[in-house]
Chains A and B, each alone.
Chain A
């Protein structure tokens, strides 16, 4: 039992803090005021790439070896939750806008062939400029019910022809490629799902529309269409083999399992930012003598710490290569509600100042709501937990 962070991670967290304080927080506030995503040519992104951000965690293919060759005890999941929390503390929107392969990386690592990893991740090993990857699952008619996606992939010679519409994909319009989930046969449900890497400029990929959001304005959430979009068979993740049948859906789910603790940790980070701002405001406004205020602050500190420990435990289990589906969903179910409560408390303390629309706490209140929605809503997390704990049937509603 050890509940401290190692020196190496602590040093990295201090680096993130310096970057967050000097750049991420101001850039995020700027985007929020402008009501538009940070543009791809913003000098901040080039600066990040020069500092070594925006890279893939894929270390290159060694014949037959695992994508992440383990040396010593694994701690990548734990490092990921720590960094996710700290980045989100400064600005979760800016963190998502960071260059890099993004959410598309996990399915490439989980089900991509060595050739595909080489083609799509190698440019992220030492990127010459800010580059983005993207991931598109959600559709106008399919959010939580992932199996209901309607984007079709029809085989035509050496290509698949993709047709459909995708919604709310982060960084999609600026991405080099988008991992798009589509069905080869809607009657097969999940078994018909396949994941395709659709490259920028592919004819038929278009209609990019950057959505207007309540918060997290620093990164683009983009909807787009695929109209007779021909994607080479070589871009079908995992290749076109019988064994990979169903790998599309499973690949997506696996990548969610890997990212849930980190998403939950981001909620903790936002909540922590709210708690700190609330405490600072309460101190300035001499509210700390009021036991009601102290009690509410105490509750937030305690609940955020509990949420953080839930994230940490889920990540630790992942590093131990033990099942963590229940624990990951638990963290993701708990943390966003706690963080929203912290932002609500903070704005309560502000009083009417919270209604002006120009205070960090008011921004955090808007930003944090997304955390209970993205990558599995709180309700979906509870269904996942109920499947584990209560053998809830798949179609059980």
Chain B
């Protein structure tokens, strides 16, 4: 029967990641944002936690954990600082394209060397309507934004294939709207850039995209939770018209709706993660797409209202709520964007012969 308790070992991991995120990331988020990097001593503490290689198979030195662990850990890290969460995960979602399409061999060849280079970053370009073009083994094109200041490995994920692209790339720094702690650049590929390894499989590419969406959805839930919680605490302290602003019904109702949005998004996130871990058929991919859409909608409802609850103070950079609004905006533009996810989930829905939600005992 359904049961929402996290497995005990995952609950413990959640606790330690939450402590790290709140004690090490949150207090330094403005510093990391300005530096476009996470301080080395914080990165070292993160490595001790062992969550940087969370989903890498144990045989390759990773923790070998699954999607539910990813969902829980990434929510916690992003609730501390989403930009830092991206910066601290050198492989990022490139891991999914490599492992789903290329398997362990691809991980050995491309991921492991990256992990031993300090500060190295892999970037996954989700490229469903290709902006990067390949002619033979030549690669050309440009990506207007990647959340990194250096690109040591570029993995491109299309609908039916994934490939690794070697440099040289031109990486030009941008100011970046959000996630600045991870860096922000324009990536131009021209000249001698080569397609190095290529794998073709529509179902594996779909799964890699699903896992990417789940990762981003988890971070969106974390950012939304941070904003909702911060606004709640602020509203209990700030007094207007003789009482805490939280006790004016207009704000009380808004604040509880913000909390509900976070909870609903997290439940869909967990449902998608559980389906991925059960290695369900392509229904798991659709659940990931819809978890991403829900998380984006929740975050783009919650975080602007987080600013709203703080009023003028919310607009100033002394409080983190404006940053979370920018992070939510940036995150929800990743992984191919929300409209593509909506389209994928919608197509799966209407392609089904049966009732989509069916009996509770059936499809779910």
Binding site for B on A (CB under 8 A): 1-6, 9-11, 13-14, 17, 75, 78, 82, 85-86, 272, 275-276, 279, 282-283, 288, 291, 294-295, 297-299, 301-310, 312-313, 316, 327, 330, 333-334, 379, 382-383, 385-386, 389-393, 396-397
Contacts and interface: CB of A to CB of B under 8 A. Distances in A.
Contacts of B317: none
12 contacts: A1-B274, A4-B361, A9-B361, A303-B294, A305-B357, A305-B364, A308-B364, A310-B264, A327-B263, A386-B253, A390-B256, A396-B252
Given A302-B294, A306-B294, A279 B1 contact: no
A105 B2 CA distance: 26
B236 interface: yes
Q: Among B7, B290, B360, find the residue whose CB has the most chain A CB atoms closer than 10 A.
A: B360
Contact of A6 (B1, B264, B267, B274): B1
B69 to A, nearest CB: 11
Contacts of B68: 1
B240 interface: no
Interface in B102-151: none
B167 to A, nearest CB: 38
Contacts of B247: 390, 392-393, 396
Contacts of B246: 386, 390-392
Nearest to A302: B290
Contact of B271 (A3, A298, A382): A3
A5 B359 CA distance: 10
A333 B356 contact: no
Given A334-B260, A390-B235, A297 B346 contact: yes
Interface in B339-358: 342-343, 345-347, 349-350, 355-357
A283 B267 contact: no
Nearest to B246: A390
Contacts of B356: 275-276, 279, 301
Contact of A305 (B255, B268, B346): B268
Contacts of A279: 349-350, 355-356
Contacts of B350: 279, 282-283, 288, 294, 297
Given A279-B350, A382-B256, A391-B236, A82 B361 contact: yes
A4 B364 CA distance: 7
B153 to A, nearest CB: 33
B290 A298 contact: yes
B246 to A, nearest CB: 4
B362 to A, nearest CB: 7
B28 to A, nearest CB: 28
Interface string B88-112: 0000000000000000000000000
A305 B287 CA distance: 10
Contact of B232 (A1, A382, A389, A393): A389
A394 B247 CA distance: 10
B15 interface: no
Given A4-B2, A291-B343, A392-B252, 13 more contacts: A1-B270, A3-B2, A17-B359, A78-B2, A85-B360, A279-B349, A302-B293, A304-B357, A305-B271, A308-B360, A330-B263, A333-B260, A382-B252
Contacts of B39: none
B349 A297 contact: yes
A309 B260 contact: no
Nearest to A391: B236
Contact of B267 (A291, A313, A389): A313
A287 B216 CA distance: 32
Interface of B: 1-7, 68, 232, 235-236, 243-244, 246-247, 249, 252-253, 255-257, 259-260, 263-265, 267-268, 270-271, 274, 290, 293-294, 342-343, 345-347, 349-350, 355-357, 359-362, 364
Q: Among B1, B247, B267, B347, find the residue whose CB has the most chain A CB atoms closer than 10 A.
A: B1
B75 to A, nearest CB: 14
A308 to B, nearest CB: 7
Contact of B362 (A10, A85, A397): A10
Contacts of B260: 310, 330, 333-334, 385
A295 B4 contact: no
Nearest to A327: B263
A299 B296 CA distance: 13
B236 A5 contact: no
Q: Sort A-B residue pairs by CB-CB distance and give the 3 closest, nearest first.
A: A10-B361, A294-B346, A298-B346
A299 B264 CA distance: 13
A390 B256 CA distance: 8
A78 B1 contact: yes
B94 to A, nearest CB: 27
A301 B357 CA distance: 7
Given A294-B346, A297-B349, A392-B247, A385 B259 contact: yes
B227 to A, nearest CB: 14
Contact of A397 (B5, B244, B249, B259): B249
Contacts of B249: 383, 386, 396-397
A389 B3 contact: no
Contacts of A9: 1, 360-361
B271 A5 contact: no
A326 B164 CA distance: 48
A393 B255 CA distance: 15
A100 to B, nearest CB: 22
Given A4-B2, A295-B346, A390-B247, A302 B252 contact: no
A272 to B, nearest CB: 5
B256 A386 contact: yes
A385 B1 CA distance: 27
B358 to A, nearest CB: 9
Contacts of A301: 290, 345, 349, 356-357
B236 to A, nearest CB: 6
B4 A316 contact: yes
A184 to B, nearest CB: 31
A6 B263 CA distance: 24
A1 B256 contact: no
A1 B361 contact: no
Contacts of B362: 10
A389 B355 contact: no
Nearest to B260: A330
A297 B343 CA distance: 11
A392 B260 CA distance: 17
A382 B264 contact: no
Nearest to A379: B253
Nearest to B339: A295
B267 A2 contact: no
A311 B350 CA distance: 25
A86 B267 contact: no
B346 A307 contact: no
B267 A306 contact: yes
Contacts of B6: 1
Given A1-B4, A390-B246, A13 B364 contact: no
Contacts of B263: 310, 327, 330
